[in-house]
A = this chain, B = another copy of it.
């Protein structure tokens, strides 16, 4: 059964009421989250604090059909007002620049509203720790939109690893090269480049925080392993840039696996070259996000095989995250939508005091967000200490 069929097969009473913080006119991430929320028809967007600029916030809300009285000028007002409404939002999506993730999430958790939050969870480990505690204290659902765990073939891979098909894992090679910051784009007025290279808004990691964390998160998700120690070198190649634009790292995983992580934003020819390669005693897989429906799988001693989403070797975990038959490519938006779809199931189960389905366990949590912040801190420390091995709390 495809997810859409599942979603539509009487599993819900009504669409969840969704609010949004950030994502006003011109913000790409807001549009992505809205499409993701719509795709499986689990949400209706009814409120927003879409911009720190009140006029822009109002106009942006009007653009997308939010009623004027639920177009707020700031997220704190929104949290308070929505908490009081009988038809208040069930859940808020936070899609601001990084530095607002923590305060906005706190505001909604304190108002006892579920939170879907863009990654990274915060700018610092301390903020992340605070949020983990706030989530626990609130008893509400908190989902972090690390989107790559939403891809069917990453769930397929995780399932295969967990089943023992690959044997004990030995090696995890993950990389995420991009090219877009090859030149000092942040000095051209490009907004994305500005805030992503600004420590005040992005935190201690540049490339490290922006995409290195994706690579880290995906490697742990797909393998079920945990990085125990890392030795890193952060580099800033573009003169004048304040944060790293290239990250090299060696990894030691708990249990003995080894690996490396490379992320870069100065690598021409790479739009989004996220690639994960995992090698076990018995088999190995390779996945590339630019062709996400394919999992290249090799059992040692047999010919390499191509497992496709929906094809003969794909299992239940992939099928759960699939909307259309094999051979018709799914992509980024569908993977993102899967996070929203599974979040909806989790929220519904939570609110109905039902146990959640198995996919809930695959959703990135505040704990994953904290883990990513610790990863950033460890990499920064290692790099400052001439690439010494630094331990990451498990």
Contacts and interface: CB of A to CB of B under 8 A. Distances in A.
Interface of A: 2, 4-5, 8-10, 14-15, 25-26, 28, 31-32, 34-35, 38-41, 59, 62-65, 170-171, 173, 178-179, 182-183, 231, 233, 235, 237, 246, 248, 250, 252, 258-260, 262, 264, 266-273, 277, 279-284, 286, 289-293, 296-308, 310-313, 323-334, 386-387, 389
Nearest to A283: B268
Given A38-B39, A272-B326, A330-B331, 12 more contacts: A28-B325, A171-B267, A173-B262, A231-B233, A248-B259, A264-B279, A267-B279, A268-B284, A269-B284, A290-B329, A297-B303, A302-B312
Contacts of A325: 28
A381 to B, nearest CB: 15
Contacts of A328: 272, 289, 331-332
Contacts of A2: 28, 31
Contacts of A179: 298, 300
Contact of A31 (B8, B233, B260): B8
Contact of A266 (B15, B64, B279, B330): B279
B35 A64 contact: no
A90 to B, nearest CB: 16
A28 B1 CA distance: 10
B300 A183 contact: yes
Contacts of A300: 179, 182-183, 268
Contact of A64 (B8, B31, B311): B8
Contacts of A266: 170-171, 279
A32 B324 contact: yes
Contacts of A25: 5, 9
Nearest to A295: B303
A323 B262 CA distance: 28
Contact of A298 (B34, B268, B298): B268
Contact of A292 (B31, B35, B277, B329): B329
B34 A5 contact: no
Contact of A303 (B65, B231, B306, B386): B306
A361 to B, nearest CB: 26
A252 B248 CA distance: 11
Contacts of A311: 271, 303
B41 A64 contact: yes
Contacts of A248: 250, 258-260
A277 B273 CA distance: 13
Given A173-B262, A333-B334, A304 B34 contact: no
Contacts of A281: 182, 237
Nearest to A31: B4
Contacts of A279: 264, 266-269
Contacts of A5: 25-26, 31
A25 B5 CA distance: 7
A299 to B, nearest CB: 7
B41 A41 contact: no
Nearest to A40: B35
Contacts of A283: 268
A270 to B, nearest CB: 8
A171 B264 contact: yes
A332 B332 contact: no
A327 B290 CA distance: 7
